[in-house]
Amino acid sequence: MIIFWILAGGLLALALWIILPPLLRRETAADTPDQNALNLAVFEQRLKELEDDRTADLIEEERYLAARHDLERELLYDVDDAEKPARRPASAASRWLLAALLATAVPASAVLMYLELGNPALIDRIEGSAGQAAAEDGSDTQSGASLEELVGRLQERLKEDPDNVDGWLMLGRTYFATDRIEEGLAAFEKAYQLAPDQVPVMLAYAEALASASPGKSLAGRPAELIRAALEKDPQDPMARWLAGMITFQEGGYQEAADAWQTILDELEPGSDDAKNLGQMIDEARSRVARASETGSGAAETQPAASRDATATAQSGEAAAAESASVTVRVSLAPSIAEQASPEDSVFVFARATQGPPMPLAAKRIQVKDLPAEVVLDDSQAMSPTLKLSGTEQITIGARVSKSGDATPRAGDLEGTAAPIGLDEDAAVSVVIDRVRP
């Protein structure tokens, strides 16, 4: 019997030796890989392989630029995934407490159960349960990698290699992903200055400029860049899609639908891109139908120069009659009124409270017009997929632009109202009462 208890004690000691050390060992940062670092390393390796293929004339320049753009987008998606919380080990105090409890409970429970049931095999089950409890305790708290780390690495790399176009494009996209629009625009502009003739760079810069505008409008500089890119590569899908969007925003709904249909025919049926583009084509054609019902169908046969103004006005009136709208009363707080000039531009906009940061509708007035009453509705939508009528709750804002452009900058005067739900008599007041830091 003594020999049995000695053997039993030895087995218990062995069990505790297996269970306790993993609980008491401190996990270090090295135990958990830095997902952002891994993503960046993979991106660099694949980009190097792509550049080697181009140097060896294994791929053409167009295919190289398209593949590089895909790599950059994949890296941004991987970074977004790395932001999801990861498991973090339990604190030192909880590990010691659990170890002490197990050191007492396992032997005591084993002896009691043996005396009660006469079945030492139960000890193995208890040890398995204790190991599972320890594993669950280690997952009580969570942490995540920071996107700011990637920004810092890109900035450091660009200090060493300021002529790296890929780096500036990636930095710009990362800034936009973190809602640092002004810094993102500066990064895209730098990339364009380094490579003004590369189609992906031209399109990326154009998209950035349009995304930063209150109405997400492609008019002006973005349209110039897109058309120049299309001249360089008439088959580029992104350039063709954006050219169709320009036509859509100018009121040429049928032409936009036809242009997008040629792209849709080249996409894989049932893919996400095909579904999204199909929705845009349907929206464009529905606007053509609405315009025809209101007697403006002839607009599609007019010369392009006159059709733009006619179609925009007529279809805008028809859409406004059916769309959601909100009346905004805008005023400037007396405490900061002296910081604004009468000729300064004022942008009044509505954006979805939950969703993309791009405005759903926007209107431009001047400080000398304040206080003013502005109506925002679907006729001011710059994208068929982003409209007031498709949003349950919106946030209204107003901004005095010291520079006169749509991009928010430090020193601008701004104000926002509490989120509201849309209804037929929606109205809200916005007081511009603070300075943008």
287 located within any domain = yes
User: Quick one: pLDDT band at residue 138, thresholds 50, 70, 90?
Assistant: very low
Same domain, 86 and 106: yes
Q: Which domain holds residue 269?
A: 147-293
303 located within any domain = no
Same domain, 113 and 235: no
Quick count: other Cβ atoms within 10 Å of Cβ 290? 18
pLDDT tens-digit series, residues 62-111: 777 777 777 777 766 665 555 444 445 545 555 566 656 665 666 666 66
Domain count, the chain: 3
Same domain, 155 and 273: yes
Same domain, 174 and 111: no
Same domain, 394 and 429: yes
Above 50 in pLDDT, residue 300?
no
Find the range with the poorest average confidence among 248-257, 356-365, 396-405.
Answer: 356-365
Task: Give the residue-averaged pLDDT of 200-216.
Answer: 84
Provide the pLDDT for residue 416.
Answer: 92
Same domain, 126 and 157: no
pLDDT tens-digit series, residues 389-436: 777 788 899 999 887 766 678 888 999 998 888 765 567 999 999 998
43 located within any domain = no
Same domain, 263 and 169: yes
Same domain, 75 and 111: yes
- Give me the CATH number covering residue 192: 1.25.40.10
Same domain, 72 and 195: no
What's the pTM? 0.42
Same domain, 332 and 231: no
Same domain, 22 and 118: yes
Task: Give the residue-averaged pLDDT of 251-277.
Answer: 87
Task: Give the residue-averaged pLDDT of 140-152.
Answer: 54
Task: Give the residue-averaged pLDDT of 288-298.
Answer: 67
Same domain, 88 and 178: no
Find the range with the poorest average confidence among 222-231, 320-329, 410-419, 422-431.
Answer: 320-329
